[in-house]
Amino acid sequence: MESRVVLLFIVLSFVALALFVVDLATGAVPIPLGDVWAALAGGDAAPATAKIVRDIRLVKAVVAVAAGMALSVSGLQMQTLFRNPLAGPYVLGISSGASLGVALFILGAPLFGAAAGGGGPMAWLGMAGAAWVGSASILLVIAAVSRRIRDIMVILILGMMFSSGVGAVVQILQYLSREEALKSFVIWTMGSLGDVTAGQLARRSRSAGGGRWRPSSRSTCCCSASSTPARWASTCAARGCCSFSPRSCSRAP
């Protein structure tokens, strides 16, 4: 079983590397693979080709890979915290909160006569800030509810309810918005990297590197509590269960 996992990891790594190279070679201006290698290695490549590969496509490709890695790590952390393989940014409504923040910024602002969805770097910073505020708001609500409701399954259900309600608000804003604002929002939801620069990549890399998992005193093994049934002690100790309450630890299969 372990050898199959290692083989699958190797195969997927080569597939990811191949797609990375294809991404550098394809676009509005197709570039042969030889010219892509020359641009990356500092060889004899045309200045325009080198600029397209190194300053535009390489930055976007690296950001796309980093974003995918960060999303997978965030999902893993939530699955570990909630001890449920279904937990994740989408299930808990955090991604929907980010979508609502951007929708209010791009789609809602023009309805009130503001040009928040216009182009330029300030608009990009505004979209990033709106996404952060929206996702953080939903996360804070989920965290506040989790302090009163100790059942993890209820928290997941509440997250899905938040996601559905936020999705309904976003759809209403899409229906009322103008064509230009709606197009900008749809492009954002597709993961547009059109405005990413090398400087922004460096800042985002430092931010992502600073977000490492740090276990807290609240994430200790719930089996240390005296109220945990003794018959679950070995299972929880072996799995290192992290939960909000000893009661949910007894749910371990």
Task: Write down the domain spans for the chain.
Answer: 1-83, 89-196, 219-253
Instruction: Name the pTM for this structure.
Output: 0.64
3-state DSSP call for residue 14?
Answer: helix
Residues of the chain predicted below pLDDT 70: 1, 112-125, 200, 203-253
**Cα distances (Å, whole numbers) of residue 28 to 23, 52, 210:** 11, 10, 35
> Letter for the amino acid at 251?
R
User: What is the model's pLDDT at position 84?
Assistant: 74
CA diameter of the chain: 71
Q: Using an 8 Å Cβ cutoff, are 86 and 229 in contact?
A: no
User: What is the model's pLDDT at position 12?
Assistant: 92
User: What is the model's pLDDT at position 10?
Assistant: 93
User: What is the model's pLDDT at position 59?
Assistant: 87
User: What is the model's pLDDT at position 15?
Assistant: 94
pLDDT tens for residues 190-209?
887 777 777 767 766 665 55
> Letter for the amino acid at 145?
V
**What is the Cα–Cα distance from 58 to 210, expressed in whole angstroms?**
23
For residue 2, the number of C-alpha atoms closer than 13 Å in the C-beta half-sphere is 0
